[in-house]
């Protein structure tokens, strides 16, 4: 096992983590920035293979490069002791233990997936999920793709897919046209954001945008267990009254984002309404542990940068420099709150689930089986729901939406790791 | 496509784009069954970012490696769940 020490450890190298690391390092602190991915940038600034970063990303990545921050890529946190400032990571199948005086959690968010018949078929992918895969080199030119779900990510995904030559058949947003119109009016003061949204809409042009529609079911060749067997062939969509069936090769479907709070929970930080609770200096309820970016609530890259800057300066004991970012942070929080109201999920989405629909993909637990239980804990004990490899990261949020079950405590190891990693081996293979 | 690297997929040598992530490269090769579920269903990547664990394959003899978090390397040996 190898050990590291630093003044400030930042976990998560998206916009919030990069800003936090830069600000703390520029105040003279020794900073270590760890991320599970091979490259910095998080999901929003994930670089496309063999292409240059977006201007905002490039500026921050350049600032990071000259900040003196030490970067630890490919490091997955699996165990933590917040009070002692000790975090253990698995990296290249080895254990790395980091001791820090201050810890900044910038673990970001992930997509919310809601079950419907056929959602486990190969070819059904997240909206952000397909974006990440395309940026990672999945060629989609000529493929028929349907984009569905909810939130601004759908337009971004459709735009990217279009640029890569996919045949985007349509974008189906569950929010009604009335609600979308209302939010555009409400957000008209955010000129830059509106322009960005308009730009995304233009990028997705040619693909019909239909508001107030959602996925009812997906299906295709089934029963065959050969490698080319079961796969997506069609998607049924509904607006609650009508149904339409679209033939396609890929369905990119996500219902917005949810904060990834597991590491914060493991440390004992208070989580409220699904997000890590923080004070005005981004302090969590655990002494010496701060949080910034979407782990504290979904709000986009601009808000994450402001929160990260506050957290970085606060962790470096420079409260006045942190305070300089309060106004911009408040402004972007207003925008985030309006978006959240606009893209609230409609109850009818629960209706897509039938008794045979799998909810827990790791353990193949159906909705019919889950109907026997009254709580997440009962369901886990009785059906193994949420106890597989993903540790409930996919079905937990779905079960919360479907049944109103709250998630509970997180225990180490918070992700699957090698037995040797747990033992602190140098190479457990 | 500019440069490629060679990986060994279930014993067969295949060319994939240099710098690609393994999950993306395997989808590009037409792979649908990355892993087999508890009830025998084929599963393929869902989240693309290391959360859902559906894209796990065997890489250089190591079981349950998330292919969406693994960059392709020359000579990498990859085994998926056979039906």
For A233, what's the count of Cα atoms within 13 Å in the CB-facing half-sphere? Answer: 8
How far away is chain B from the Cα of A393, in angstroms, using its nearest Cα?
A: 7
Reported as a single tens digit per residue, the pLDDT across A197-221 is 655 665 556 678 899 999 999 998 7
Q: What is the mean pLDDT of the segment spanning A309-323?
A: 98
Contact between chains at A133 and B16 (C-beta distance less than 8 A): no
How far away is chain A from the Cα of B79, in angstroms, using its nearest Cα?
A: 13
DSSP letters of chain B? ---EEEEEETTEEEEEETT-BHHHHHHHTT---SEE-TTS-EE--SSSSSSS-TTEEEETTEEEEEGGG-B--TTEEEE----
For B13, other C-beta atoms within 10 Å of its C-beta total 9
The percentage of chain A sitting over the pLDDT mark of 90, rounded to a whole number, equals 77
**Given a cut of 70, is residue A145 above it in pLDDT?**
yes
Tokens 């949080």 correspond to what residue? A291
Q: Where are the alpha helices (DSSP H) in A268-354?
A: 301-315, 319-323, 326-342
Find, in chain B, the residue whose alpha carbon is nearest to that of A37: B69
Give the per-residue pLDDT at A182: 79
Q: What is the mean pLDDT of the segment spanning A83-107?
A: 94
Find, in chain B, the residue whose alpha carbon is nearest to that of A122: B44
Cβ neighbours of A393 in B, within 8 Å: 51-52
Reported as a single tens digit per residue, the pLDDT across A146-170 is 999 999 999 999 999 999 999 999 9
Reported as a single tens digit per residue, the pLDDT across A391-413 is 999 999 999 999 999 877 788 88
- SS3 for A338? helix
Tokens 């911009």 correspond to what residue? A328
- SS3 for A153? helix
Q: Quick check: A115 and A103 in contact, CB under 8 A?
A: no
Give residues with Cβ within 8 angstroms of A386, minimum separation 6: A360, A362, A363, A376, A379, A380, A392, A395, A396, A399
Task: Count residue pairs from A and B with Cβ separation < 8 A.
Answer: 135
- SS3 for A275? strand
**Given a cut of 70, is residue A425 above it in pLDDT?**
no
Domains of chain A are: 2-110+258-340 (3.50.50.60), 113-255 (3.50.50.60), 347-403 (no CATH)
SS3 content of chain A, % helix, strand, coil (to 5): 35, 25, 40
Give the per-residue pLDDT at A228: 47
Give the per-residue pLDDT at A420: 85
Comparing CA positions, the residue from A140, A148, A188, A185 lying closest to residue A167 is A140
- Averaged pLDDT of chain A: 91
For chain A, say whether B50 makes contact (Cβ under 8 Å): yes
For chain B, say whether A36 makes contact (Cβ under 8 Å): yes
Q: What is the mean pLDDT of the segment spanning A298-309?
A: 96
How far away is chain A from the Cα of B74, in angstroms, using its nearest Cα?
A: 16
Beta bridge partners of A386: none
Cβ neighbours of B33 in A, within 8 Å: 122, 227, 229
The b/e string for B30-49 (b: 16+ C-beta within 10 A; e otherwise) is ebbbbbebeeebbbbbbbbb
Domains of chain B are: 4-79 (3.10.20.30)
Alpha-carbon distance of A283 to A88, in angstroms, equals 21
Residue A283 per-residue DSSP state: B
Reported as a single tens digit per residue, the pLDDT across B34-74 is 999 999 999 999 999 999 999 999 999 999 999 999 999 99
pTM, two decimals, is: 0.94
Alpha-carbon distance of A120 to B41, in angstroms, equals 8
Alpha-carbon distance of A120 to A259, in angstroms, equals 23
């Amino acid at each position: 096992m190898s050990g590291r020490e630093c003044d400030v450890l930042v976990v998560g190298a998206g916009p919030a983590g990069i800003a936090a690391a830069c600000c703390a390092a520029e105040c003279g602190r020794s900073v270590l920035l760890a991320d599970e991915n091979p490259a910095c940038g998080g999901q929003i600034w994930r670089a496309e293979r063999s292409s240059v970063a977006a201007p905002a990303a490039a500026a921050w990545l350049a600032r990071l490069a000259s900040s003196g921050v030490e970067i630890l890529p490919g490091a997955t946190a699996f165990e933590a002791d917040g009070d002692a400032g000790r975090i253990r990571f698995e990296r290249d199948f080895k254990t790395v233990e980091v001791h820090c005086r201050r810890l900044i959690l910038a673990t970001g968010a992930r997509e919310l997936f809601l079950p419907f018949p056929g959602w486990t078929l190969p070819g059904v992918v997240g909206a952000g999920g397909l974006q990440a895969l395309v940026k990672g080199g999945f060629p989609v030119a000529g493929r028929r793709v349907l984009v569905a779900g909810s939130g601004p990510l759908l337009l971004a995904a459709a735009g990217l897919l279009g640029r890569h030559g996919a045949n985007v058949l349509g974008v189906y947003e569950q929010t009604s046209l009335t609600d979308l119109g209302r939010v555009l009016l409400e957000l008209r003061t955010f000129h830059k954001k509106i322009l960005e949204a308009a730009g995304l809409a233009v990028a997705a042009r040619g693909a019909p945008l239909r508001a107030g529609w959602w996925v009812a079911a997906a299906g295709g060749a089934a029963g065959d267990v050969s490698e080319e067997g079961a796969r997506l062939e069609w998607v049924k969509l509904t607006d609650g009254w009508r149904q339409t069936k679209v033939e396609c090769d890929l369905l990119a479907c996500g219902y917005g984002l949810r904060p990834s709070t597991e590491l914060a929970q493991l440390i004992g930080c208070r989580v409220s309404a699904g997000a890590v609770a923080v004070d005005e200096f981004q302090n969590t309820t655990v002494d010496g542990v701060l949080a910034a970016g979407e782990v504290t609530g979904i709000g986009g890259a601009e808000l994450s940068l402001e929160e990260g800057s506050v957290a970085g300066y606060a962790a470096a004991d420079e409260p006045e420099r942190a305070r300089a970012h309060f106004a911009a942070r408040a402004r972007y929080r207003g925008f985030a709150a309006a978006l959240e109201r606009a893209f609230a999920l409609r109850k009818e989405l629960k209706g897509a689930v039938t008794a045979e629909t799998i909810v827990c993909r790791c353990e193949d637990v159906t909705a019919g089986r889950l109907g026997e239980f009254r709580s997440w804990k009962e369901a886990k004990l009785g059906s193994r729901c949420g106890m597989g490899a993903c540790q409930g990261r996919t079905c937990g949020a779905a079960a919360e939406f479907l049944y109103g079950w709250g998630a509970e405590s997180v225990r180490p190891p918070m992700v699957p790791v090698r037995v040797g990693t747990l033992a602190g081996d140098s190479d457990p293979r | 496509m500019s440069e490629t690297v060679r990986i060994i997929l279930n014993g067969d040598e295949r060319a994939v784009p240099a710098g690609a992530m393994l999950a993306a490269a395997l989808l590009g090769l037409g792979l649908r069954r990355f892993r087999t579920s508890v009830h025998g269903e084929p599963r393929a990547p869902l989240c693309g970012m290391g959360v859902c664990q559906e894209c796990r394959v065997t890489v250089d003899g190591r079981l349950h490696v998330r292919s969406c978090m693994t960059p392709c390397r020359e000579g990498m040996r990859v085994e998926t769940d056979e039906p």
